[in-house]
Amino acid sequence: MYRMIIVDDEELIRESVSIQLSELAGIAVSALQPNGCKALEWLEENYADICLTDVRMPLMDGLQLIEAINERFPWMTCVVISSYDEFQYARKSMMLGAVDYVLKPIDRELLHEAVSKACAKNSHQRQHEANRLLLQKLPFHKPLLDKWLEVILSVYSHVQPLLVVDTLAVFEEWAGERFQLLNELSMAWVRLLAEELKKQELHAFYEEGEDAGLGEASLSREEARRYFRLGAVRRLEQSSLLFLDHARQLRSLQKEGPVDKVKGFIESHYAESFSLQELADYAAMSRSYMAKLFKEQTGLTIWSYCINVRMKKARELLLTTTLKSYEVALQVGYENSIHFSRIFKQYHGLNPMEYKEKFASGPAGGQDF
């Protein structure tokens, strides 16, 4: 999802361009502004990836705006709108780093092509920087990569949540103030893992997907921090679960049968109280044999698996709702919120509110990107 600001002193053009861009997949129009001064005021408080700007405007023209964006928001890419008789301005904008220009009256296909070019430039630059960071930093973090491989190949899914948190903390350290690199860093890491797993005869491909559901079309700076963190967490969690699933298949551990019935029951009733005997009756086997078979096929005890499911749901609720810690505890089957917090910290290294705060906010003050 790339977020755009459209800057033009003619309201009709701003609205028309916004409507045309709404047809383009992966694009969200975050703001419409009448001139460069208003655009910069908005950008001080809000986040955008791309600026589409007219050349001739009052107070601050498009060239001055591009120069200011290059200096203050260097992660952004600019596209210019110009009339035929303003071509010299458009040419100068290209010298300032704008990726393309679109002549008025605006052709829909040419507009889409120019914006797509801006998206491609953003993606290429961020991937290049993420790969550079990974190559530069990886020698000092080889134990982290080895831990990922160990967890996946050994199917130790119970330590996966804490590993995701630890890895995100490393990525944030690498990226510094450039939070927009977290998406590309997480994908570079996933691709590296996939290549290493191939050496162990484990072949899996992770489709990145979209982060549209993680944030609104318009994001403040604080919301943008959270958006990039959640995107990175999504990639790390989904890819690791995919790799774990392939590892189970490789080890012939993923079988249809009693263990799958027990897992399905737990995943549907994790917030309820139930006994081992109830599970055994449901799976039509003795309690002792069920416990033994479950441990053999999953590497976990039944109660450890239940806690895993509860902790995963708790993470989702903390990151996607405004529920308090004790309310989350009740939602996932814990009447004692202190007990819930203690278990959550054992799994994630943070208590529930610390975990929520880590992904919902960033360091105060300073340049954020």
Q: What is the average pLDDT across 320-341?
A: 90
The answer for residues whose C-beta is within 8 angstroms of residue 310's C-beta and 6 or more apart is 270, 271, 332, 333, 334
Distance, C-alpha 157 to centroid of its chain: 21
Print burial letters for 182-201: b (CB count within 10 Å at least 16), e (below 16). Answer: bbbbbbbbbbbbbebbeeee
Instruction: Give percent above pLDDT 90 in the chain.
Output: 44
Q: What is the average pLDDT across 26-55?
A: 94
Residue with tokens 């604080």: 222
Residue 246's pLDDT is what? 86
Is the pTM here over 0.85, yes or no? no
Q: Is the pLDDT of residue 364 over 60?
A: no
Report strand pairing: 77-82 vs 50-54: parallel
Report strand pairing: 27-33 vs 46-47: unpaired
Tokens found for residue 344: 């959550």
Residue 44's pLDDT is what? 94
Backbone φ and ψ for 334, nearest 5 degrees, come out as -115, 115
Q: What domains are there in the chain, each with its CATH number?
A: 2-124 (3.40.50.2300), 141-250 (no CATH), 258-360 (1.10.10.60)
- What is the phi-psi region of residue 150: left when phi exceeds 0, alpha when psi lies from -120 to 50, beta otherwise? alpha
Mean pLDDT of the chain: 86
Q: Which tens digit of pLDDT belongs to each residue from 96-151?
A: 888 888 888 899 999 999 999 999 999 999 999 999 999 999 888 888 998 998 88
Report d(CA 53, CA 253) in Å as an integer. 56
**Cβ(84)–Cβ(15) below 8 Å:** no
Q: Which tens digit of pLDDT belongs to each residue from 59-84?
A: 888 889 999 999 999 999 999 988 76
**Cβ(174)–Cβ(137) below 8 Å:** yes
Report d(CA 195, CA 189) in Å as an integer. 10
DSSP string covering 235-257: HHHHHHHHHHHHHHHHTT---SS
Instruction: Give percent above pLDDT 70 in the chain.
Output: 93
